[in-house]
């Protein structure tokens, strides 16, 4: 690789790390004769960022030049950072080279906005057209849609990409106006609606004609930056829940604000990104998508923010002792699913297994129930422990958080040794 390309790569891959709205999932396209790549498990090279995010895509910006000046962004025009840009062909060639070396399983393509949204979208489109049409690349492509770009360009991009994302970034319109005055919610929601419409039309057409072109088959996602504004978890989760009601929406990503622009008075003075809050939001998101919780059950007017000391499911259970204890041998699946320490897989196994006889504690453990947590919320004839109602939610909370602290202290006492 020549030095010029290497330098561009180091600048633009580094600038892309702040966007978390990507993950390769949701499509299954096998290898085709004469093509390169698949969206299935071959050629995947996983890597992890220091804060634990899995990155298996070639995540890159086309350019870090930007005409906008969003307060939270390292690439904003007022920052004095080294700028560069790939040509579409350079980027396409690099992607193919990495794919063939088995470094990556696909491409996540984003960009700063150069000249105007249409021009930027056109350049990004040229990259994916080169990949698909000229290099016959059949692997996964996640592409950012640039708010303000024309419907025609988004429509073309949707036929080449597996997934598209339009980042909302800031969870409320008023705070977006404050931090990114050149952007607006209406400009962000317009491409989201257009992508959804394209997906629905494509699904209808494919029912009639199997060969009809696919449009963003892996759906769309978005990113919300957490902690750059005083927006509450209630605002964030209510927004996410509304997005999940849209048929095209697959994922909302939560990204703890990384204080890259210290000294901007519109931003809070954070020492570090709020990673615990970010983690709690992912857990709450999981509850909405897989545990049939409504956003209003997890956070409400009285509790607008998630409890950072306990996970959101435990938090809900402690606020609602009236629903407990749950009898694992008779309760409906939906209630078993709400017991802290019981996951989706364990809840399903409980419902199937109890058909053959009453479940004992060893059986529950074998099924995967985490008894340290579940013991306060279930009943079973053999269970000697008292439940949350006898012990009080405050006592259970103390027990659970103390165990977490002890575990953390034990880890510090016995540091992990790496290597041999």
Side-chain-side CA neighbours of 94 within 13 Å: the count stands at 27
The structure tokens listed for 55 are 């990155």
Site string for ligand SF4, 291-330 (x = CB under 6 A): ----------------------------------------
Nearest alpha carbon to residue 57 among 153, 165, 197? 165
Contact 24, 142 (CB under 8 A): yes
Site for ligand SF4 in 247-276 (CB under 6 A): none
**Is the Cβ of residue 76 or residue 250 nearer to ligand SF4 in the bound state?**
76
| Binding span for ligand SF4 by CB under 6 A among 72-80, 122-130, 246-254, 281-289 | 72-80
> What's the CA gap between 216 and 193, in Å, rounded?
13
Strands 58-61 and 106-110: parallel
CB 299 within 8 A of CB 237: yes
The least CB distance from residue 175 to ligand SF4, in Å, is 14
Contact 305, 299 (CB under 8 A): yes
Closer Cβ to ligand SF4, 76 or 373, answer by number: 76
Q: Pick the binder of ligand SF4 from 11, 22, 107, 113 (CB under 6 A).
A: 113
Segment 409-415 long-range contacts (CB within 8 Å, at least 24 positions apart): none
**Residue 75 C-beta: closest distance to ligand SF4, Å:** 4
Shorter beta-carbon distance to ligand SF4: residue 66 or 284: 66
Pick the stretch among 37-45, 70-78, 248-256, 347-355 that binds ligand SF4 (CB under 6 A): 70-78
Whichever of 81 and 292 has its CB closer to ligand SF4, that residue is 81
β-pair partners for 144: 165
Q: How far apart are CA 362 and CA 356, in angstroms?
A: 15
Residues 214-233 touching ligand SF4, rule: CB under 6 A, are: none
**Is residue 339 a contact residue for ligand SF4 (CB under 6 A)?**
no
Judged by beta carbon, residue 68 or residue 103, the one nearer ligand SF4 is 68
Q: Say whether the peptide bond before residue 89 is cis (omega within 30 degrees of 0).
A: no
- Piece in contact with ligand SF4 (CB under 6 A), picked from 64-72, 206-214, 233-241, 316-324: 64-72
The dihedral built from the CA positions of residue 343, 345, 346 and 352, taken in this order, carries a sign that is positive
Structure tokens at 351: 């419902």
144 binds ligand SF4 (CB under 6 A): no
Question: Which residues, including other chains, have CB under 8 Å from residue 136's CB and lie 6 or more apart?
Answer: 34, 35, 36
Stretch that binds ligand SF4, among 62-70, 94-102, 157-165, 407-415 (CB under 6 A): 62-70
Using CB under 6 A, pick the residue from 8, 76, 250, 277 that binds ligand SF4: 76
Total residues found in the chain within this entry: 420
Which range touches ligand SF4 (CB under 6 A), out of 73-81, 198-206, 249-257, 289-297? 73-81
Q: Does position 71 bind ligand SF4 by CB under 6 A?
A: no
What is d(CA 339, CA 377) in angstroms, rounded to the nearest whole number?
Answer: 6
Nearest to 404 by CA among 287, 309, 306, 284: 309
Which of 70, 141, 339, 367 touches ligand SF4 (CB under 6 A)?
70
Candidates 9, 73, 243, 361: give the one binding ligand SF4 (CB under 6 A).
73
Rank residues 68 and 135 by Cβ distance to ligand SF4 and give the closer one.
68
- Distance (Å, rounded) from C-alpha 183 to C-alpha 196? 21
Number of residues that bind ligand SF4 (CB under 6 A): 9
Interacting residues with ligand SF4 between 25 and 54 (CB under 6 A):
none
Residues 6+ apart with CB under 8 A from 35: 136, 137, 138
Nearest-angstrom CA–CA distance, 85 and 219:
28
Judged by CB under 6 A, the stretch of 69-77, 196-204, 360-368, 382-390 that binds ligand SF4 is: 69-77
Under the binding rule (CB under 6 A), the answer on residue 112 touching ligand SF4 is yes
Burial grade of 280 (CB within 10 A; 0-12, 13-18, 19 or more): buried
- Interacting residue with ligand SF4 among 11, 23, 55, 66 (CB under 6 A): 66
Name the minimum Å distance from CB 224 to ligand SF4: 13
Q: Is 75 in the site for ligand SF4 (CB under 6 A)?
A: yes
* Interface contacts to ligand SF4, rule CB under 6 A: 66, 68, 70, 73, 75-76, 112-113, 180
């Amino acid at each position: 690789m020549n030095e010029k390309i290497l330098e561009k790569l180091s600048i633009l891959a580094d600038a892309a790390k702040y966007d978390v709205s990507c993950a390769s999932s949701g499509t299954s396209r096998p290898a085709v004769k004469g093509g390169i790549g698949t969206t299935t498990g071959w050629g995947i090279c996983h890597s992890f960022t220091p804060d634990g995010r899995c990155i298996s895509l070639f995540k890159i910006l086309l350019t870090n030049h930007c005409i906008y000046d969003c307060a939270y962004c390292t690439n904003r025009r007022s920052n004095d950072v080294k700028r560069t840009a790939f040509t579409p062909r350079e980027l396409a060639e690099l992607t193919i080279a990495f794919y063939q070396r088995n470094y990556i399983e696909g491409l996540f393509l984003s960009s700063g906005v150069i000249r105007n949204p249409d021009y930027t979208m056109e350049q990004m489109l040229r990259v994916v057209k080169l990949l698909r049409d000229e290099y016959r690349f059949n692997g996964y492509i996640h592409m950012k849609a640039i708010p303000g770009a024309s419907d025609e360009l988004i429509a073309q991009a949707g036929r080449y990409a597996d997934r598209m994302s339009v980042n909302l970034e800031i969870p409320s319109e008023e705070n977006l106006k404050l931090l990114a005055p050149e952007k607006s919610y209406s400009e962000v929601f317009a491409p989201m609606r257009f992508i959804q419409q394209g997906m629905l039309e494509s699904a209808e057409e494919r029912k009639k004609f199997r060969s009809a072109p696919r449009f963003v088959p892996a759906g769309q996602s978005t990113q919300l930056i957490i902690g750059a504004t005083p927006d509450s978890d209630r605002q964030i989760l209510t927004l996410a829940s509304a997005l999940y009601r849209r048929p095209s929406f697959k994922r909302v990503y939560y990204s703890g604000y990384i204080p890259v622009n210290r000294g901007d008075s519109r931003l809070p003075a954070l020492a570090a990104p709020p990673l615990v809050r970010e983690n709690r939001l992912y857990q709450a998101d999981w509850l909405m998508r897989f545990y049939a919780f409504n956003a209003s059950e997890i956070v409400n007017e009285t509790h607008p923010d998630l409890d950072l000391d306990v996970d959101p499911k435990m938090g809900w259970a402690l606020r609602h002792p009236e629903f407990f204890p749950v009898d694992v041998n008779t309760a409906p699946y939906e209630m078993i699913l709400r017991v802290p320490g019981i996951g989706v897989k364990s809840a399903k196994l409980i419902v199937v297994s109890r058909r053959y006889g009453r479940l004992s504690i060893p059986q529950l453990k074998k099924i995967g129930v985490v008894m340290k947590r579940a013991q306060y919320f279930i009943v079973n004839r053999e269970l000697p422990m008292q439940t949350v109602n006898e012990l009080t939610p405050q006592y259970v909370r103390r027990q659970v958080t103390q165990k977490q602290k002890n575990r953390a202290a034990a880890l510090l006492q016995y540091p992990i040794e790496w290597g041999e």
